[in-house]
Amino acid sequence: MRTEGGSARPPKPSSVLIIGSGPIVIGQAAEFDYAGTQACKAMREEGIRSILVNSNPATIMTDEDVADVVYIEPLTVEVLERIIAREQPDGLLPTLGGQTGLNLARELATAGILDRHGVRLLGTSLRTIELAEDRALFRDLLRNIGEPVPESEIVETWEAAQAARDRIGLPLVIRPAYTLGGTGGGFARTEDEFERIVHGGLAASPIHQVLVERSLLGWKELEYEVMRDANDTCITVCNMENLDPMGVHTGDSIVVAPSQTLSDTEYHMLRNSALKIIRALGIEGGCNVQFALAPRPDVVPWEVDGAQTLPYYVIEVNPRVSRSSALASKATGYPIARVAAKIAIGKRLDEIENSVTKRTSAAFEPALDYCVVKIPRWPFDKFAFGDRALGTQMKATGEVMAIDRTFEAALQKAVRSLEFGGRSLMWEHPEWGGNPPLSASDERLWALTAAIRHDVPLLDISRHTGVDPWFIERLARIVAMERRLLAEELTPALLAEAKRLGFADAQVGTLADRLPDQVRALREEWGLRPVYKMVDTCAAEFDAVTSYFYSTYEEENEAPPEPRERMLVIGSGPIRIGQGIEFDYCSVQAVRALRAAGVGAILANSNPETVSTDFDTSDRLYFEPLDIESMRDLLENEAGENGEAPASIVQFGGQTAVNMARALHGAAMPIAGSSAEAIDIAEDRGRFERLLSEIAVPQPPGAGVSTLEDALTTAGAIGYPVLVRPSYVLGGRAMEVVQDANELVRYFGAALAEKTGVVLIDKYLSGREAEVDAICDGARVLIPGIMEHVERAGVHSGDSMAVYPPQNLTQAQCDAIVEYTTRIGLALDVRGLMNVQFVISPADDPDPDGPGVFVIEVNPRSSRTVPFISKVTGVPMVHLAVNVMLGRSLADQGYEGGLWPAPGLIAVKAPVFSMSKLVGVDTYLGPEMKSTGEVMGVDRTFDAAVRKALIASDLGIRPGTPFLLSLSNQTKSEAVPLIRALHEAGCPLYATEGTAALVHGLGLPVEMVTKRLNEGHPNVVDVIRAGTVRAVINTIEGGRSGPLRDGFHIRRTATEVRIPCFTSLDTARAAIKALASPGSYEVLPLHVYRDGEGL
């Protein structure tokens, strides 16, 4: 063996604490589940005990077979210290849990807690974290090593900010310190903008500090992913170029890897800088460096004569695994988080195996022989009133990635992967006309393409947007092909060229006047099928062992079918509101179940952030858009010549996957588990209604209608209020409680405009809601648990707090839930999972002694509560369901039907919102889902579990917290006990006019604050901004939706200053009850709550 260089190695730890990133919020999504899961795997490979803590139950990392000890607890210093005291880990991995994990590690270190318990920060020292995170220290460091930073000033007051503005000059960028996804920052071109953003940024920063910096708007933006080990070996894994120039947050930018417009000299100039920076910071692990590079000589005063390069600036460094590193890992096949974790425990890059080639080490730089495009997934399909402009504040909830051998194809596949209802690059907003808006927004990609289509000169587009001409020219090539497809006869050569540019069959069909299936038939006739090429980290230089593939239209296929039983698990695509990480959890579990059963697991997905797209999760990974064309192509590839396609599992990838059932069935592709027919019955309103009445399961009266006349008749017959929604949607899009005929007319008009098709109208029953997830094998139905919602019907189940086991249901009601679920499962002949939602309204039961249980919805697939209920009950739901699909009955697997007995724990699932990042979006809870993530509070009592859920979802309140109350007339009487409880808990009360009269009338002290913003100060906004109140309860009348409902400013301001804002009395009641109850909460591993100590 060669000699050891460098300093002596610290001892390898025997146990390590890994902090997760908590709930999914904008700026911090599934990528940290991927990172944490990889870290746990790495620890296991090294024989190190891993202790994992996260508040988010919908993660793979919190599975008990990923980490050795799992805590699902709020991520606070107090909780973490209790875990450290209990587990006594040797080390803490601070860099894998996003900004949340890094901040907590820093707090634990600075509070002396790590030293007190003898816990080492692994990989990255406290000093390094501070150097990278503290803007002043970071700037000084960069200046010392001669790396350019934009002129800037750190300020903590408005006065200092003004001085900085005068010195540097507008335009300026404002970046708050220590916030996620750039929360609270922005670009200021005018003095007014500057003032507004600086105030917002100071408020957003936990240390009340912002950076005021020279604006580099329009410069090229580039990123490098860098790794370094303790022996000072440094490599760059990947560089990435943003299509959107400086000015748009990287998380909101379209990103391409590798860079496309840099010369070799420029590429290495920035690479040199990145290596210099990681060395200066002393990071042992991974880091991400962002650069701005002048695009042209004319944007800067610069002596270009003979110069090869233009000036650049270092913009930002993340001393940790990041969203970009997840993307880079998937783009290259290089597992950054796994390698970073191994470096942190003392391994060197050349001692870590390249798990893709299995014959080279991690000390190399991946070579790509393809082009990767990432497009963010924004939530504006849900938030029609949100501000769509993009800037320094990230707004995307998720992202998609696509790979191909041309940029055009990768881009078009990424567009397909967004799953915007088949929207291709050909889409144009009806209001654009010939002059599409080119400013940065979620629709800019389409606007750029439309502008080319409308013959705006390409260089003008580039100059106007800062998007490099290279990208504009690629878009122009796509437009040129559109024109050819419109004008020319469709020939094999033309179709082949279109496919090489990534045109979907549907797009070709639209342009060449054919149906998608006819295009497919032509492809078959002409032998135009995609081949699959491997992502192998080395551009084919070495024989690699992984099975990570992408499609392309070329000659050689590298993915022949394997001669054994296999199944395809269709994933869930990008993280979006209504379809989150839960479905990735289910997909990964399904893959594991298949592999455990000895069946080859093929996985298809388009989301680079996830565990499911880790190249060694499945036996074969297809990184593809989740649409029917891609699925059929890859299934045909798996079938091979004359072979049979493997069965597809559509139950785990959310609505994305289950929506494919009908088309797959139509294409004679086998579907595992519940039949396409069963799925169709559950989703077709009329058929489902008939089925329920046949098996005597009650549901609220209602019907599916497609004309306004029918809607009015139906609603009149069943009586208002009614719940209206389009059929076949996920996440309750455009679902509303309608109070009268006028509102119904308005709703229907909007629904027609959106072409939503059939609209479902149901009697709105204002009762408690409950839901179950169940596994059915055709003979039995197993119900692992019943979840009761804290909020009454009317709040989307995804936005409700849910408690397991139910706290307020009678035995008869529970029995009815079990009985109805069983009947439905058997009647539909469900094979696998289903989710049933109930409303409990005894007053509406025709039988006065009846339980009052009504079925409101059945989803013939796994739901977002599957990970939650699997974890708290210990029933491995996805595994059972997959085994059922493989032909093993529940009995064979050792399970009876019926309700699984509840263990002695109480678990509360609470939604988490990202509202502070979405300007213009109203935060009130309603039938449309708005949350981006969830947390779980688990304990031995209800109040402790609720308290933990509230702390974990940032709704923590304490005795004495001053409250602002603004209650609708409908809810005033109901709120009386709650108001008294607040007073008894010592909470000072502030209230708007009417509510103040109510509180005063109760004989309680109250301060009146006007909600009329133009009638003197202090008004509601003032008291929230000033911190006079630290929590808000605001209820509204049902009805009109729109950007400016009553109390909008109250809710928005509360959101922006990040204080709890309750819009449902039910949530507030639970929170206040927990607040008032004595006793504290436990901090225990999950299995101890469930199975008791000693197991």
Partner 1 sequence: MTQDGLLLSPQRPAARLVLADGRVFDGVAIGVAGRATGEVVFNTSMSGYQEALTDPSYRGQILVMTYPLQGNYGTNPFTNESRELQVRGFVVRELTDLPSHWRSDRTLDQYLRVAGVSGIANIDTRALTRHLRSRGVVMGTITVDETAESALARLRGEPDYGSLDYVAEVSTTATYDFEKDRPSGRWPTEIAGPPPHVVVVDLGVKRNIMRLLRTRGCSVTAVPHTTSAEDILSLAPDGIVLSPGPGDPMQLEHAVTAARGLVGRAPIMGICLGHQVLGRVFGASTYKLKFGHRGANHPVRDEQTGRVYITAQNHGYAVDPDHLDAAVMVSQIHLNDGTVEGLQHRSEPVFAIQYHSEASPGPNDTEFLFDRFMATVLSQHERPPSRRS
Bridge-partner residues for 939, per DSSP? 906
Q: What is the DSSP string of 357-377?
A: TSSSBSSS--B-SSEEEEEEE
Closest separation in Å from C-beta 306 to partner 1: 7
DSSP letter at 1010?
A: B
The Cα–Cα gap between 772 and 775 comes to 10
Closest separation in Å from C-beta 956 to partner 1: 48
DSSP letter at 675?
A: -
- Strand, helix or coil at 122? coil
Q: Are 820 and 853 in contact (CB under 8 A)?
A: yes
Closest separation in Å from C-beta 933 to partner 1: 36
Q: Are 789 and 1064 in contact (CB under 8 A)?
A: no
Closest separation in Å from C-beta 390 to partner 1: 23
Sign of the torsion formed by the C-alpha atoms of 116, 119, 123 and 129: negative
Closest separation in Å from C-beta 927 to partner 1: 47
Q: Compare residues 364 and 526 and give the one whose CB is closer to partner 1.
A: 364
Q: What is the DSSP string of 41-57?
A: HHHHHTT-EEEEEES-S
The Cα–Cα gap between 736 and 753 comes to 16
Angle between helix axes 264-281 and 135-144 (nearest 10 degrees) is 120
Q: Compare residues 521 and 540 and give the one whose CB is closer to partner 1.
A: 540
Structure tokens at 781: 């139905």
Q: Compare residues 308 and 742 and give the one whose CB is closer to partner 1.
A: 308
The Cα–Cα gap between 975 and 969 comes to 10
The Cα–Cα gap between 644 and 412 comes to 29
Closest separation in Å from C-beta 263 to partner 1: 5
Q: Compare residues 329 and 873 and give the one whose CB is closer to partner 1.
A: 329
Q: Which residues have C-beta within 8 Å of that of residue 362, sequence separation ≥ 6? A: 227, 334, 339, 342, 349, 350, 352, 353, 354
Closest separation in Å from C-beta 216 to partner 1: 17
Closest separation in Å from C-beta 912 to partner 1: 40
Closest separation in Å from C-beta 485 to partner 1: 13
Closest separation in Å from C-beta 539 to partner 1: 4
Closest separation in Å from C-beta 414 to partner 1: 16
Q: Which residues have C-beta within 8 Å of that of residue 482, sequence separation ≥ 6? A: 426, 453, 511
Q: Compare residues 265 and 889 and give the one whose CB is closer to partner 1.
A: 265
Closest separation in Å from C-beta 627 to partner 1: 24
What would you measure as the largest C-alpha separation in the chain, in angstroms?
Answer: 91
Q: Compare residues 65 and 558 and give the one whose CB is closer to partner 1.
A: 558
Q: Compare residues 307 and 521 and give the one whose CB is closer to partner 1.
A: 307
The Cα–Cα gap between 880 and 143 comes to 59
Bridge-partner residues for 1032, per DSSP? 964, 1061
Closest separation in Å from C-beta 338 to partner 1: 18
Q: Compare residues 444 and 500 and give the one whose CB is closer to partner 1.
A: 500
Q: Residue 536's closest CA among 340, 355, 407, 326?
A: 355
Closest separation in Å from C-beta 874 to partner 1: 46
DSSP letter at 340?
A: H
For residue 545, the tally of other CB atoms under 10 A from its CB is 13
Q: Are 911 and 928 in contact (CB under 8 A)?
A: no
Q: Compare residues 84 and 230 and give the one whose CB is closer to partner 1.
A: 230
Q: Compare residues 106 and 405 and give the one whose CB is closer to partner 1.
A: 405
The Cα–Cα gap between 651 and 861 comes to 4
The Cα–Cα gap between 374 and 205 comes to 29
Q: Compare residues 462 and 589 and give the one whose CB is closer to partner 1.
A: 462
Structure tokens at 469: 């001409």
Q: Are 135 and 173 in contact (CB under 8 A)?
A: no
Radius of gyration of the chain (CA): 28
Q: What is the DSSP string of 166-224?
A: HHH-SSEEEEETT-GGGTT-EEESSHHHHHHHHHHHHHHSTTS-EEEEE--TTSEEEEE
The Cα–Cα gap between 956 and 79 comes to 14
Q: Compare residues 370 and 748 and give the one whose CB is closer to partner 1.
A: 370
Q: Are 83 and 18 in contact (CB under 8 A)?
A: no
Closest separation in Å from C-beta 92 to partner 1: 27
Pairing of the two strands 312-318 and 285-293:
antiparallel
Q: Compare residues 556 and 849 and give the one whose CB is closer to partner 1.
A: 556
Closest separation in Å from C-beta 508 to partner 1: 18
Q: Compare residues 178 and 267 and give the one whose CB is closer to partner 1.
A: 267
Q: Compare residues 155 and 289 and give the one whose CB is closer to partner 1.
A: 289
Q: Are 798 and 931 in contact (CB under 8 A)?
A: yes
Q: Compare residues 457 and 1079 and give the one whose CB is closer to partner 1.
A: 457
Structure tokens at 963: 């409250």
Q: Compare residues 359 and 690 and give the one whose CB is closer to partner 1.
A: 359
Q: Are 232 and 7 in contact (CB under 8 A)?
A: no
Q: Compare residues 161 and 275 and give the one whose CB is closer to partner 1.
A: 275
CA dist list (Å): 719 to 429, 741, 764 = 38, 10, 9
Closest separation in Å from C-beta 227 to partner 1: 11
Helices and strands, counts by H and E, the chain: 37, 39
CA dist list (Å): 1017 to 374, 1012, 1026, 1049, 1052 = 47, 9, 12, 15, 18
Q: What is the DSSP string of 486-507?
A: HHS---HHHHHHHHHTT--HHH
Closest separation in Å from C-beta 16 to partner 1: 25
